[in-house]
């Protein structure tokens, strides 16, 4: 590690406090998570007793410390509700996994702490600050700007190979041989893997297009002060250049779902999106489907060579699901206990998808909790803000996050690419759908549908029209 690694890791909390002192808390929170996730190194500092200090935990500590120091009153506004049960279950799932595997309560509580830092705190902060439509707009802009800022750095690494993490922090956090793709390089900048960066860029690009198309920021990108349309085109070019066909397919899928739902004025395509990961996981976890037809379809679409990776993942998924089925309810807990080994004790399985990792580690309990955390609030959102309102500039950012959360769950079928901003969005949507409801007149609804931005536009959901 270079000295800069220690400076930025231990200096991030003071930097976050500076952000909270300079900007409104909601803006500061968005900046902490976007800036930290984009630029902090993939470092890990191990301490006895307390959880490891990592890029993920640094974000949680910085955010909570900033809230407590600069905006403590907002903590009293949080009211635990039914919408929070999936996240609560997801945070305690490691405890049940530990105790049912005879690893002890201490191991279980330690695993809970790690889960809280990685998932619970971003969700909780999102519940506090992004439970309004206008707040979701701020979060969407922050992620779009974050992707735009990384775009020139991505171009540099496309040319020279992923070197920025090595140059600034002293090492490359993954297998460098995996950076070569299609006769060139797949950038990763300060992310753990090139796929992680590609998914980040895909999400930022999707949000950028929706912010532009739905006239949320039709002219200039805030903060950067550049024209929106050229910025979106530039980000599109860079995202394509990141050489991730999976991320591009998810982008087009997300765009198609959003626009089709909006045009149809009914969220049927969105419900199909949410159903895909649920159906897939059920079929694969129970062994009702071996996935071979999926591999065959990929081979016909992209060729045998490109489909080999998918076939390898499906094979590993199959044997891991069989192992997970031996401890179906709460899983095998951590320490690679859910991995498959041969007679000599050597690992012969390589889990890639977050869903199979979760199923093996925390069982059906954990997998159900994680799925509901990502998908329940987006589903409820469409019941209170139907697709016919998604074209309104105030509603569009929240609707876009609902779609991208569904797409994230689909990506988790094959990859395990964590994104803390998605947890902020999940928390924000959970607050939105759990807020008290109000009645809107037909005239008010008409103003909403045509894009009105007057004071009648609610941060409260509409339940019926009079």
Q: How many other β-carbons are positioned within 10 Å of the β-carbon of residue 309? A: 13
- Mean pLDDT of all residues in 196-221: 96
Does the pLDDT at position 466 exceed 90?
Answer: no
pLDDT the model gives residue 437 = 52
Q: How many other β-carbons are positioned within 10 Å of the β-carbon of residue 76? A: 7
Looking at per-residue pLDDT, the higher value among 158 and 351 belongs to 158
Out of 121-125, 359-363, 458-462, pick the least confident. 458-462
Identify the DSSP state of 117: I
Range 289-297, long-range pairs (CB < 8 A, 24+ positions): 290/314, 290/318, 291/317, 291/318
Same domain, yes or no: 28 and 54: yes
Task: State pLDDT tens for residues 178-207.
Answer: 777 767 789 999 999 899 999 999 999 999
Does the pLDDT at position 454 exceed 70?
Answer: no
Strand blocks (E) in 28-131: 44-45, 53-54
Same domain, yes or no: 373 and 452: no
Same domain, yes or no: 395 and 452: no
Out of 32-41, 243-252, 407-416, 429-438, pick the least confident. 429-438
Same domain, yes or no: 366 and 463: no
Same domain, yes or no: 10 and 69: yes
In a domain, 176, yes or no: yes
In a domain, 224, yes or no: yes
In a domain, 352, yes or no: no
pLDDT the model gives residue 244 = 87
Same domain, yes or no: 141 and 227: yes
The dihedral through the CA atoms of 30, 134, 450, 407 has a sign that is: positive
Same domain, yes or no: 361 and 414: yes
Counting Cβ atoms within 10 Å, is residue 377 exposed (0-12), middle (13-18) or buried (19+)?
buried
pLDDT the model gives residue 174 = 78
In a domain, 300, yes or no: no
Q: How confident is the model at residue 436 (pLDDT cuts 50, 70, 90)?
A: low
Q: How confident is the model at residue 463 (pLDDT cuts 50, 70, 90)?
A: very low
- Mean pLDDT of all residues in 272-295: 93
Does the pLDDT at position 440 exceed 50?
Answer: no
Same domain, yes or no: 11 and 65: yes
Same domain, yes or no: 117 and 194: yes
pLDDT the model gives residue 308 = 81
pLDDT the model gives residue 442 = 42
pLDDT the model gives residue 452 = 39
Task: State pLDDT tens for residues 402-426.
Answer: 999 999 999 999 998 899 999 999 9
Looking at per-residue pLDDT, the higher value among 270 and 185 belongs to 270
Does the pLDDT at position 298 exceed 90?
Answer: no
Paired sense of beta strands 462-465 and 438-440, if any:
parallel
In a domain, 124, yes or no: yes
Q: What's the total number of domains in the chain? A: 2
pLDDT the model gives residue 245 = 87
Paired sense of beta strands 226-227 and 220-221, if any:
antiparallel
CA distances for 376 relative to 85, 382, 426, angstroms: 11, 10, 9
SS3 at position 181: strand
- Mean pLDDT of all residues in 370-375: 97
Same domain, yes or no: 31 and 109: yes
What is the DSSP annotation of 368-417? HHHHHHHHHHHHHHHHHS-GGGTTSTTTHHHHHHHHHHHHHHHHTTT---
Paired sense of beta strands 180-181 and 184-185, if any:
antiparallel
In a domain, 329, yes or no: no
Domain that holds residue 409: 3-279+357-435
Mean pLDDT for all residues in the chain? 90
SS3 at position 340: coil
Same domain, yes or no: 443 and 397: no
pLDDT the model gives residue 309 = 79
d(CA 32, CA 37): 8
What is the value of pTM for the model shown?
Answer: 0.90
Q: How confident is the model at residue 306 (pLDDT cuts 50, 70, 90)?
A: low
Task: State pLDDT tens for residues 140-181.
Answer: 999 999 999 999 999 999 999 999 999 999 988 877 777 777
In a domain, 85, yes or no: yes
In a domain, 105, yes or no: yes
Please give the structure tokens belonging to residue 147.
């992707």
Same domain, yes or no: 210 and 232: yes
């Amino acid at each position: 590690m270079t000295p800069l690694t220690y400076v930025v890791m231990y200096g991030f909390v003071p930097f976050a406090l500076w952000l909270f002192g300079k900007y409104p808390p909601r803006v500061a929170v968005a900046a902490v998570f976007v800036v930290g996730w984009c630029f902090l190194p993939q470092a890990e500092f191990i301490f006895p007793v307390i959880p490891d200090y990592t890029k993920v935990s640094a974000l949680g500590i910085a955010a909570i410390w900033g809230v407590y120091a600069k905006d403590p009153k907002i903590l009293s506004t949080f009211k635990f509700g039914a919408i929070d049960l999936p996240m609560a279950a997801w945070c305690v799932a490691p405890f049940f996994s530990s105790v049912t595997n005879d690893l002890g309560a201490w191991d279980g509580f330690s695993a809970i702490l790690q889960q809280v830092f990685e998932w619970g705190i971003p969700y909780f902060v999102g519940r506090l600050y992004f439970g309004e439509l206008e707040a979701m707009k701020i979060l969407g802009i922050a992620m779009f700007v974050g992707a735009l800022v990384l775009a020139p750095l991505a171009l540099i690494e496309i040319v020279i190979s992923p070197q920025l993490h090595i140059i600034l922090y002293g090492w490359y956090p993954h297998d460098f041989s995996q950076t070569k793709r299609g006769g060139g390089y797949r950038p990763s900048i300060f992310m753990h893997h090139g796929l992680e960066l590609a998914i980040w860029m895909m999400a930022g690009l999707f949000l950028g297009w929706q912010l532009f198309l739905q006239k949320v920021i039709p002219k200039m990108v805030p903060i950067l002060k550049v024209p929106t349309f050229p910025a979106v085109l530039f980000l599109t070019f860079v995202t394509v250049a990141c050489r991730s066909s999976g991320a591009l397919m998810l982008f087009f899928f997300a765009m198609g779902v959003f626009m089709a739902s909006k045009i149809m004025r009914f969220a049927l395509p969105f419900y199909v999106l949410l159903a895909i990961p649920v159906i897939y996981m059920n079929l694969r976890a129970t062994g009702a489907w071996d996935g071979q037809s999926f591999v065959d379809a990929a081979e016909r679409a992209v060729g045998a060579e490109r489909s080999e990776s998918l076939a390898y993942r499906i094979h590993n998924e199959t044997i891991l699901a069989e192992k997970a089925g031996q401890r179906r309810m709460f899983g095998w807990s951590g320490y690679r206990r859910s991995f498959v080994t041969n007679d000599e004790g050597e690992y012969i399985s390589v889990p890639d998808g977050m869903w199979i990792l979760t199923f093996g580690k925390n069982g059906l309990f954990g997998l159900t909790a994680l799925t509901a955390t990502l998908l329940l609030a987006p589903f409820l959102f469409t019941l209170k803000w139907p697709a016919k309102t998604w074209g309104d500039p105030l509603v569009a950012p929240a609707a876009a996050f609902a779609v991208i959360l569904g797409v994230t769950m689909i990506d988790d079928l094959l990859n395990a690419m964590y994104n803390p901003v998605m947890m902020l969005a999940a928390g924000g949507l959970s607050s939105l759908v759990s807020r008290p409801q109000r009645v809107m007149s037909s005239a008010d609804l008409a103003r909403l549908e045509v894009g009105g931005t007057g004071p009648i536009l609610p941060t409260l959901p509409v339940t019926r029209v009079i």
